Each structure stands twice: as C-alpha cells, then as structure tokens.
C-alpha cells in the first residue's frame, strides 16, 4: 500500500517534469483567459536582451515596446480559443514566409498593380490566418507605433498559437526581424516544396535554407496538425503512375479510406486531416502514422526513403526527443535570411509596404 502511494508520487513527479504526460487532450486545464503571460513558467520577457548568432535577440522590444510579446500572446490566444484550426494555419504561413526571401513577412504582402505577390502564388492559395496577423498588428500599433515588425509578430503568434494547449512556450522566438519590401509570386514555386516532391528535392530545398535532413524530418512533424486538400494527394489514390493505380508506399486500407473522402482526382474542395483523430493536437503522432505508411503526401512518404531521414523519424516517436528537436529546428527556421538593424522597414500594415 505504502509503496503504491510512493510509486504514484514518483510518476507524478516525473510527469510534471516532462511534456509527454501533457501531450494531447489537456487544453482546458492550461487555459488562462484572464491574465497576460504563460501559466506554466517561462516568461521570456523578464530576460535581458541577449544577441543571437543572426542578429536577433531575446526580447528585442524589452525597452522599445515592453508589452509587445504579451499583447501578441493574448490576442493570439483569444483567436485560437474560437478557432482551433488557427495554429495549423499560422505555422504554415510562417514556413512559407521563411522559405521565400527569409522570415521577412513577404508572404503577408498583398499584390499591387500588376505585381503578383507571394500570397497569390499557387502554392499559397490555401494559406489562411492573415486577418489574425492584421488584428494582432493593430493591437500592437495602438501601444507602440511602427516599432514591432510583422515578421516578428508572425513568428511570435505562431509559437504562441501552437503552444497554447501546453500553457508554456514550446520554442524560443528571439526577435528583431524587420519587414521586407518585396514579394514576388514567381519566387514561390522554386522555394516552397510541393506535396509531390521526392526526398532529393526536399533535402535540396532545405539545404538551400541551411536546414539539415534532421531539420526537414523534425519540421515535417508540423503535419501533426491541419488538413490537406484532396488534389494534393489524390494522384496517390487514383492514377499514381498513369495506369489507374495507387501509390504502393501508401497503406492500402488507408488509401481505401481516403477514396471515401475525396470525390475524384481533381477535387480541390474536400479536406482531410493529415493526422486523423489528433489533427488539432500538436504532438508527435505524425511519426506514428508516417511509420504506418499513412503519411498523406508523397513528400511525407519520401522521408522513409532515405536511411538517415527514416532513422531520425523513428527516433522522433519519443515525445521528449520530438519536442526538443522540433524546438531546435523551429528556431533555425525562424532565423532564415532575417533582415535586422536598418535593413527593410517596420510596416504600419502587414499587408502593405509603407
Ligand atoms: C517538407 C516539405 C513540406 C511539404 C512538401 C509540405 C506540403 C504541404 C501540403 C501539400 C499541404 C496541404 C495544403 C493544402 O491542402 O492546402 C501542407 C499543409 C500543411 N503544412 Fe506542410 N509541407 C512541408 C513542410 C511543412 C513545414 C516545415 C511546416 C511547418 C513547420 C508545415 C506545416 C503545414 C501545416 C500546419 C499544414 C496544414 C495547414 C492547414 O491546415 O490549413 N509543412 N503542407
Ligand atoms: C489585402 O488583401 C486582403 C484580401 O484581399 C484584404 O482583405 C485587405 O484589406 C488588403 N489589405 C489592405 C491594407 O488593403
Ligand atoms: C526527384 O524529382 C525530381 C524533380 O521532379 C527529378 O528530377 C528527380 O529525378 C527525382 N529523383 C529521384 C531519385 O526520383
Ligand atoms: C540557395 O539558392 C540560391 C539561388 O540558387 C543561391 O544564391 C544561394 O547561395 C543558395 N544558398 C545556399 C545556402 O545554398
Ligand atoms: C491516368 O494518367 C494517364 C497518364 O497521365 C492518363 O493518360 C490517363 O487518362 C489517366 N487516367 C485517368 C482515369 O485519369
Ligand atoms: C470533383 O469533385 C468536386 C468536389 O465534389 C466537384 O466540385 C468537381 O466538379 C468534381 N469534378 C469532376 C470532374 O467530377
């Protein structure tokens, strides 16, 4: 009896140390509506600014706009509470921002006159959440005019949205990014990998951003949340090699299920959860389905075609390892090609150059 109680206490103590015991299904417990800041430790804005390798630093707005990070967090939280799909939308926008001209909020710019911006490129057709970024920016502008960049707001809001279910930040976001002034639709297709990409294409695009194969695998774990439209994977179901066949790297029973969801091979309307059953929970379940050959896109399945990538994907079945690696890779992704110092500008409106 006594030893049972001791064992329980030990398990509780271990649980409170690691994020694993919180993974999934614990959103309500950590919901903190009425106060600014994280419930579970880590308030990065109590740190003194400290330079990072890329010219970013922790809490860059410490002096110039001390409440900036708190405002971003509370407005983001309000939006996520009413829209559980928002974390997936934002993290994808951030990925598409950082891979084209670096993390400079170029993806947020509207097309002007005869110049088509990134937003209007094919690969960005289904991006969403721009209105949320605009509303956070408006709140921040009320307190600090032309001080906090849209690029930082996007990076912070993404981290805060994805982290909300855990009540503590899942990765660090050093700040000091500035906003770019150029956004070209034509630069999108070469820098954003399509869902039909093989491993060679994926690893080349990531290497071009100074991201490793391990970063590629860890970041693909973001497909644990969100949805994919049928047209991006339906070839795998209906006509993979042009002989009316299906992709043999996809679990056949899962392919049967997917065919019940997608009406036909050109269906651009229907969406399917990328991690069915847990598609609003940010966890490492993606690596379970990947191992079971249920990754939705060719680009997911491709991670199993390279020895190093496959071994690393299997390591990420360990939740602690996944959260560590994902955090590291997000910090790298968030620093790609950033503008700092006097480069670029601080936009007034995230969708318009000043
Ligand atoms: C490795 C290369 C990647 C490829 C080829 C890829 C491809 C795709 C595709 C085709 C979709 C479906 C889009 C749609 O149907 O509208 C998608 C969705 C998504 N991707 Fe990726 N992706 C990659 C990496 C990433 C990374 C690095 C992240 C973030 C860190 C990410 C986050 C997401 C999210 C959250 C969604 C769901 C969006 C939603 O629910 O609206 N992806 N991705
Ligand atoms: C940018 O485009 C969006 C969508 O078309 C629109 O709602 C928004 O008002 C535009 N932003 C500005 C500042 O014009
Ligand atoms: C990967 O895809 C690219 C572009 O479609 C193609 O040129 C290349 O041959 C493919 N590589 C492999 C190993 O299939
Ligand atoms: C990425 O590709 C661009 C365009 O080809 C090139 O200028 C740049 O040096 C590459 N960067 C890296 C890190 O490979
Ligand atoms: C399958 O693909 C082949 C080659 O692209 C094409 O000729 C054929 O019409 C397609 N079949 C169907 C049913 O779409
Ligand atoms: C395919 O399915 C979509 C969604 O139901 C529908 O809008 C579209 O017309 C269909 N296309 C064909 C060729 O049947």
Note the pLDDT of residue 24.
Answer: 36
Residue 43's pLDDT band, with cuts at 50, 70 and 90, is low
Catalytic residues: 96
Please give the Cα distance from 334 to 172 (Å, whole number).
Answer: 10
85 pLDDT more than 50? yes
Between 29 and 106, the higher pLDDT residue: 106
Ligand 4 centroid to Cα of residue 337, in Å, is 11
| Residue 216: C-alpha distances to residues 51, 200, 206, 345 (Å) | 26, 12, 7, 30
Could you read off the pLDDT of 50-84 as tens digits, one per residue? Answer: 555 678 999 999 999 999 999 999 999 999 999 99
Residue 2's pLDDT band, with cuts at 50, 70 and 90, is very low
Residue 352's pLDDT band, with cuts at 50, 70 and 90, is very high
6 pLDDT more than 70? no
Note the pLDDT of residue 35.
Answer: 55
- Residue 10: Cβ-neighbour burial (10 angstroms; 0-12, 13-18, 19+): exposed
Assigned token pair, 145: 């005019």
Ligand 2 centroid to Cα of residue 160, in Å, is 24
Residue 201's pLDDT band, with cuts at 50, 70 and 90, is very high
Averaged pLDDT score across all residues of the chain: 89
Residue whose Cα lies nearest atom 14 of ligand 4: it is 208
**Which regions of the chain does DSSP assign to beta strands (E)?**
227-229, 271-273
Note the pLDDT of residue 51.
Answer: 54
Q: Does ligand 3 lie within 6 Å of residue 198's CB atom?
A: yes
Average pLDDT over residues 173-199: 98
Note the pLDDT of residue 131.
Answer: 97
Question: For the chain, what percent of residues have pLDDT higher than 90?
Answer: 82
Q: Does ligand 6 lie within 6 Å of residue 264's CB atom?
A: yes
Residue with tokens 């670096």: 102
Question: For the chain, what percent of residues have pLDDT higher than 70?
Answer: 86
Could you read off the pLDDT of 99-128 as tens digits, one per residue? Answer: 999 999 999 999 999 899 999 999 999 999
Least confident piece of the model among 27-36, 263-272, 283-292? 27-36
Residue 251's pLDDT band, with cuts at 50, 70 and 90, is very high
Q: Count of H helices and E strands in the chain? A: 14, 2
Q: Does ligand 3 lie within 6 Å of residue 194's CB atom?
A: no
Contact 130/150 with Cβ under 8 angstroms? Answer: no
Residues of each annotated binding site for heme b: 223
Give residue limits of the domains in the chain.
32-189, 193-331
Query: What kind of fold does domain 32-189 have according to CATH?
Result: Peroxidase; domain 1 (1.10.520)
41 pLDDT more than 90? no
Note the pLDDT of residue 47.
Answer: 46
CATH number belonging to domain 193-331: 1.10.420.10
């Amino acid at each position: 009896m006594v030893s049972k109680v001791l064992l329980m206490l030990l398990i509780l103590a271990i649980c409170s140390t690691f994020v694993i015991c919180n993974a999934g299904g614990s959103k309500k417990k950590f919901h903190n509506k009425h106060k600014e800041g994280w419930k579970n430790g880590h308030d990065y804005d109590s740190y003194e600014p400290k330079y990072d390798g890329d010219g970013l630093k922790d809490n860059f707005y410490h002096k110039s706009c001390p409440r900036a990070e708190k405002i971003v967090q509370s407005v983001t939280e309000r939006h996520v509470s009413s829209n559980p799909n928002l974390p997936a939308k934002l993290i994808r926008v951030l990925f598409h921002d950082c891979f084209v001209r670096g993390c400079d909020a170029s993806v947020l710019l509207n097309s002007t006159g005869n110049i088509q911006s990134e937003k209007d490129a094919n690969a960005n057709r289904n991006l969403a959440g721009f209105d949320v970024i605009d509303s956070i920016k408006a709140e921040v502008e009320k307190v600090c005019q032309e001080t906090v960049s849209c690029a930082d707001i996007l990076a912070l809001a993404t981290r805060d949205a994805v982290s909300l279910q855990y009540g503590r930040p899942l990765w660090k976001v050093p700040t000091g990014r500035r906003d770019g002034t150029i956004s070209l639709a034509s630069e999108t297709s070469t820098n954003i990998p399509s869902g039909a990409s093989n491993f060679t294409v994926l690893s080349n695009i990531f290497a071009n951003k100074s991201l490793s194969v391990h970063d590629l695998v860890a970041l693909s774990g973001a497909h644990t949340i969100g949805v994919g439209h049928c047209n991006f994977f339906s070839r795998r179901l209906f006509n993979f090699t042009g002989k009316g066949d299906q992709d043999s790297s996809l679990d056949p029973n899962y392919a049967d299920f997917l065919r019940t969801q997608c009406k036909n091979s050109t269906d651009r309307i229907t969406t399917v959860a990328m991690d069915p059953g847990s598609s609003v929970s940010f966890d490492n379940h993606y690596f379970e389905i990947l191992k079971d050959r249920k990754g939705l896109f060719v680009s997911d399945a491709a991670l199993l075609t390279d020895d190093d990538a496959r071994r690393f994907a299997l390591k990420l079945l360990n939740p602690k390892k996944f959260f560590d690696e994902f955090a590291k890779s997000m910090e790298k992704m968030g620093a790609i090609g950033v503008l700092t110092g006097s480069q670029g500008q601080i936009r007034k409106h995230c969708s318009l150059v000043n």
